[in-house]
Amino acid sequence: LPAKLSEKLKLLQVDQESIGKEVVLFSEKCDITEELVRLRSHLGQLNQLIQSKEIAVGRALDFLLVEVGRELNTIAAKSFQREITDQVPLMKAEVEKIREQVQNIE
- Please state the domain extents for the chain: 1-30, 32-102
Mind listing the pLDDT tens digit for each residue in 12-31?
Answer: 766 777 777 877 777 778 89
In DSSP notation, 2-33 reads HHHHHHHHHHHT--HHHHHHHHHHHHHHH--H
Mind listing the pLDDT tens digit for each residue in 89-98?
Answer: 999 999 999 9
Helix (H, G, I), strand (E, B) or coil at 103: coil
Mind listing the pLDDT tens digit for each residue in 62-75?
Answer: 999 999 999 999 99
Quick one: pLDDT at residue 51?
Answer: 93
Q: Largest Cα–Cα distance in the chain?
A: 69
Asked whether 19 and 6 are in contact (CB, 8 A), the reply is no
